[in-house]
Every structure is written in structure tokens, then in C-alpha cells.
């Protein structure tokens, strides 16, 4: 999901990614530019400008962090899912998100960054992840709304990434998008069941939509006018569609789905604009978005503490896997000798 990364620096104390300068070798630069202009793919072994590499490391690692932190708000409901069927679906979805994180960390590693470096950035609070996961999941309808709206927004963001100029990222996105599509449908289907239930169930769905709608619109990142890195990302074929255009596509796709559910999207300014051929919508609270991105959302501290604890608790698994790999290697060396 998660194109907000283009506009969000990991650590404000770190220097911004430098733009391509005249220090890059002209011949290699020309070859790189020709590949990008021809809509080709850059692969790990190809030469690339340092700023392109750094931008991708930041975007892919922030994306990976978002996938694994994104397991936490829904993980909260696995033990309390209302039926065995819903529990099995939710476990599968949360496990998919863990898998997405793994593909993406692997894609980022091809750019010369280690898994330890990336996880250290996340656990020390220097690296960002999607702001949406810093909000609580208060009732069961939140799980449905996350599938419908959060995974729905993720799909909008990620489909264009299947055509990203960096090969390993683009290829990882193809499978991720197929799974995200299942996530979106399971969420929507769970909500359809709830809105056909009791008044209390309908109220829960509306309450969850009220709390999540604006935060989902903010997931697409700051307005284009306030998104200085977007133009370079577009030039490099990393970003294909602007934040505002993606947000508009999401609003236009979601309004009819809300109508089918019979829920009201909490925006009095939301209206079809005949002239533009799109829906108009109200003002997003960017102060709240930035406060959450910068660590002051309702669950930032809790999410980070849970993630760090999970990593520490899993140390023995990593140690055991490494010991096993060493043993296997020793055995194959002995057999070869």
C-alpha cells in the first residue's frame, strides 16, 4: 500500500535522498535513462544511480514494515473471531501479510541492504510504516472494514507497482496484489453478512466505517502539491499514478460499494461532480496524519513494543535455523570430500 513513503522521510535527522547529480558516470547514466524511457526493467545486477537505489530501499522497506506491522491490528481479533470459518479466514489473511513482508524484505535485500539493517530501522523507530496501522481495532466490524477499505486502498496503490521499473519489486507485487484482492473481498463479504443482521451489527459496521474512512483516504499520502519526491518517482517509473489520482480512483470505486452495504461514508461534502466525472470529497486532516506518522498516533508505541517483543521472542527460532543450516552445510562438504 503505501505510496505515502515517497513523501515521508524515515528519520528527519537523516539527509533527504539526494537527487541525481552530475557525479554519476555519463555513459552508465545514459544506459539507465534509455532503459527507463523504453519502459524496461532494472535488475539487481544492473548499474543504477545511487539516488534511485536509496529511494527504492526506502520505499520497499517501508512497504515491508507496513505488511508486518499490519498483522498486529487484526491479529488482535484472531482469538475472538465470531466463528471457526471467520477465524480460519482471518488467520490466512494475517499469514499472507507476513508473507508479503518477506517477499518485500527479500526484494530490498537485492539492493544491497541487509535484513538486520531494515529491522533495526523499524525497531529503533527510525523507519516509517503506514500510518493506518497505528489505530485500534475496537470491534469485529473493524476487521471487515480493514479488509474492505484498507486492503482496498492497498490494491489501488499496489496495482501500478506491478509495472515498477525495478524488476524484483514489480514481480513481488504481482502475487501480493492477487492476495490483496482476496483480503478485500473477505472483508466486504464479512460486512455484507453483518449489515443483514441485527441493528446492533449494522451500527457496528457504521461505527467502524466512521472511524476508518478518513484515515484510509490519508493512506494515499499528502496531496500532489505537497509531495516533493513524487515527480522523481514518476520519472524513474517507480510511481506510475499520483497520490491525488489514486485517492480519486479509490473514492470513485468505494462510493457504490458503500451504497450496496447501506452505510454512509462520513463526509458531508461527498458528491458526484458531473462536470469532472468524479466524486468531490471533503478536506483530509493532514495535521492528524503527520502527528501519527511522526509517532504520536493512538497505538504507535504499542505497535512498536509488540513488534520488538515478537522479534526478541523469535531469536531462538533464528538461532536454531542458522545452526541447522550450518550442520547441513558441514554434512554436504564432508560428503563432497
Residues that bind Fe ion (CB under 5 A): 67, 97, 100, 151, 180, 183
Nearest approach, Cβ of 118 to Fe ion (angstroms)? 17
Do 312 and 305 touch, CB atoms closer than 8 A? no
Residue with cell 524488476: 167
Q: Please say which residue, 236 or 250, places its beta carbon nearer to Fe ion.
A: 250
Nearest approach, Cβ of 148 to Fe ion (angstroms)? 11
Nearest approach, Cβ of 102 to Fe ion (angstroms)? 11
Q: Please say which residue, 54 or 185, places its beta carbon nearer to Fe ion.
A: 185
30: which 3 cell numbers? 545514459
Do 229 and 7 touch, CB atoms closer than 8 A? yes
First to last CA, the chain: 49
Nearest approach, Cβ of 222 to Fe ion (angstroms)? 22
Nearest approach, Cβ of 100 to Fe ion (angstroms)? 4
Beta bridge partners of 42: 166
Q: Please say which residue, 67 or 109, places its beta carbon nearer to Fe ion.
A: 67
What is the C-alpha to C-alpha distance for residues 220 and 190, in angstroms, rounded to an integer? Answer: 25
Nearest approach, Cβ of 184 to Fe ion (angstroms)? 8
Q: Please say which residue, 133 or 213, places its beta carbon nearer to Fe ion.
A: 133
Q: Please say which residue, 36 or 149, places its beta carbon nearer to Fe ion.
A: 149
What is the C-alpha to C-alpha distance for residues 80 and 64, in angstroms, rounded to an integer? Answer: 27
Nearest approach, Cβ of 194 to Fe ion (angstroms)? 20
What is the C-alpha to C-alpha distance for residues 161 and 180, in angstroms, rounded to an integer? Answer: 13
Q: Please say which residue, 146 or 204, places its beta carbon nearer to Fe ion.
A: 146
Q: Please say which residue, 2 or 281, places its beta carbon nearer to Fe ion.
A: 2
Amino acid at each position: 500500500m503505501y505510496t505515502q513513503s515517497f513523501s515521508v522521510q524515515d528519520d528527519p535527522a537523516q539527509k533527504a535522498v539526494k537527487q541525481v547529480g552530475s557525479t554519476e558516470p555519463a555513459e552508465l547514466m545514459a544506459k539507465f535513462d534509455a532503459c527507463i524511457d523504453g519502459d524496461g526493467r532494472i535488475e539487481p545486477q544492473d548499474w543504477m544511480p545511487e539516488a534511485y537505489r536509496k529511494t527504492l530501499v526506502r520505499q520497499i522497506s517501508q512497504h515491508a514494515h507496513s505488511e508486518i506491522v499490519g498483522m498486529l491490528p487484526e491479529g488482535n481479533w484472531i482469538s475472538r473471531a465470531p466463528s471457526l470459518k471467520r477465524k480460519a479466514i482471518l488467520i490466512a489473511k494475517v499469514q499472507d501479510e507476513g508473507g508479503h513482508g518477506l517477499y518485500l524484505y527479500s526484494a530490498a535485500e537485492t539492493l544491497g541492504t541487509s535484513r538486520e539493517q531494515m529491522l533495526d530501522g523499524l525497531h529503533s523507530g527510525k523507519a516509517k510504516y503506514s500510518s493506518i496501522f497505528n489505530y485500534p481495532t475496537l470491534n469485529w466490524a473493524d476487521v471487515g472494514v480493514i479488509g474492505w477499505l484498507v486492503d482496498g486502498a492497498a490494491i489501488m496503490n499496489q496495482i501500478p507497482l506491478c509495472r515498477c521499473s525495478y524488476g524484483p519489486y514489480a514481480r513481488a507485487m504481482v502475487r501480493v496484489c492477487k492476495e490483496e484482492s482476496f483480503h478485500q473481498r473477505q472483508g466486504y463479504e464479512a460486512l455484507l453478512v453483518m449489515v443483514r443482521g441485527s441493528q446492533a451489527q449494522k451500527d457496528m459496521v457504521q461505527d467502524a466505517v466512521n472511524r476508518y474512512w478518513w484515515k484510509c483516504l490519508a493512506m494515499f499520502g499528502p496531496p500532489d502539491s505537497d509531495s516533493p519526491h513524487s515527480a522523481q518517482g514518476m520519472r524513474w517509473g517507480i510511481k506510475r499514478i499520483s497520490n491525488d489520482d489514486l485517492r480519486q480512483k479509490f473514492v470513485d470505486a468505494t462510493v457504490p460499494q458503500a451504497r450496496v452495504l447501506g452505510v454512509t461514508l462520513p463526509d458531508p461534502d461527498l458528491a458526484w461532480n458531473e462536470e469532472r466525472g468524479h466524486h468531490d470529497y471533503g478536506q483530509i486532516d493532514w495535521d492528524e496524519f503527520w502527528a501519527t506518522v511522526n509517532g504520536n498516533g493512538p497505538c504507535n508505541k504499542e505497535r512498536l513494543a509488540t513488534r520488538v517483543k515478537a522479534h526478541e521472542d523469535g531469536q531462538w527460532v533464528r538461532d536454531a535455523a542458522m545452526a541447522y543450516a550450518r550442520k547441513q552445510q558441514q554434512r554436504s562438504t564432508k560428503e563432497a570430500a
